[in-house]
């Protein structure tokens, strides 16, 4: 296993995957790593929805693009945003999930006040564990407007009382993902 600090500093959001699927054993390993994340009052408010059916992933991608278009049209008026974004969303066949073989949606129990943060930490555990095994990952926030639709969540098999928090894709990377520039953080010390 790689050194933890190296894993943290070299993990990238992968958006280009090979066809071969991630094994069920690897997905189970990632979920096992997720459950060791800290959670408020140790509530462990997460539930995991694993989707490996390409048709279901494709349908969710199309629903996600459709739900994102109204939000994107508001954003595109900003000249700093990519002009091709709406075009990407409107083009049939463009896949929000970058053709990854596995989608894991971490669901948070609505009764838990800290579910969003707890599930985010579980997601980070999964992505770091994936990287340690040579598996690529990416958090797909663009699908969240569709996942806020209770009907879509129910169709996917989400249990009642849970909401989508972290839609993560996993797959075997095709090529190497370039390291984006990292800014120095602004830090204010109070002593």
pLDDT tens digits, one per residue of 122-170 = 999 999 999 999 999 999 999 999 999 999 999 999 999 999 999 999 9
C-alpha 95 chain-centroid distance: 14
C-alpha 53 chain-centroid distance: 17
Question: What is residue 83's predicted lDDT score, i.e. its pLDDT?
Answer: 59
Domain ranges across the chain: 4-171
Q: Which fold has domain 4-171?
A: NADH Oxidase (3.40.109)
Query: Per-residue pLDDT averaged across 38-64, rounded?
Result: 97
In terms of Cβ atoms closer than 10 Å to its own Cβ (0-12, 13-18, 19+), residue 45 is buried
> pLDDT for 103-123, tens place per residue?
999 999 999 999 999 999 999
The CA-based angle 157-14-21, given to 5 degrees, is 55
User: 52-66, 84-98, 99-113, 162-176 — which is least confidently predicted?
Assistant: 84-98
Question: What is residue 81's predicted lDDT score, i.e. its pLDDT?
Answer: 57
- Given the structure tokens 């879509």, which residue do they identify? 152
**What span, in angstroms and rounded, lies between the C-alpha atoms of 108 and 118?**
8
Question: What is residue 167's predicted lDDT score, i.e. its pLDDT?
Answer: 98
What values do phi and psi take at 147, rounded to 5? Answer: -75, -10
């Amino acid at each position: 296993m790689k050194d933890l600090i190296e894993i943290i500093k070299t993990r990238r959001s992968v958006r280009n995957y090979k066809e071969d699927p991630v094994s069920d054993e690897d997905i189970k390993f990632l979920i096992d790593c997720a459950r060791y994340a800290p959670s408020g009052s140790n509530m462990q408010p997460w539930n995991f929805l694993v989707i490996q059916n390409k048709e279901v992933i494709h349908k969710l991608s199309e629903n996600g693009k459709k739900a994102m278009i109204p939000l994107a049209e508001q954003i595109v008026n900003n000249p700093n945003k990519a002009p091709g974004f709406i075009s990407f969303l409107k083009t049939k066949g463009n896949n929000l999930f970058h053709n990854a073989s596995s989608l894991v949606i971490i669901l948070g129990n609505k009764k838990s006040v800290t579910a969003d943060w707890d599930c985010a930490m579980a997601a980070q555990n999964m992505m770091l564990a994936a990287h340690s095994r040579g598996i690529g990952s990416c958090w797909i926030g663009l699908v969240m407007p569709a996942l806020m639709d209770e009907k879509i969540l129910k169709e996917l098999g989400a249990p009642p009382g849970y909401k989508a928090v972290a839609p993560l894709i996993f797959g075997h990377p095709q090529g190497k993902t370039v390291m984006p520039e990292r800014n120095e953080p602004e830090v204010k010390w109070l002593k």
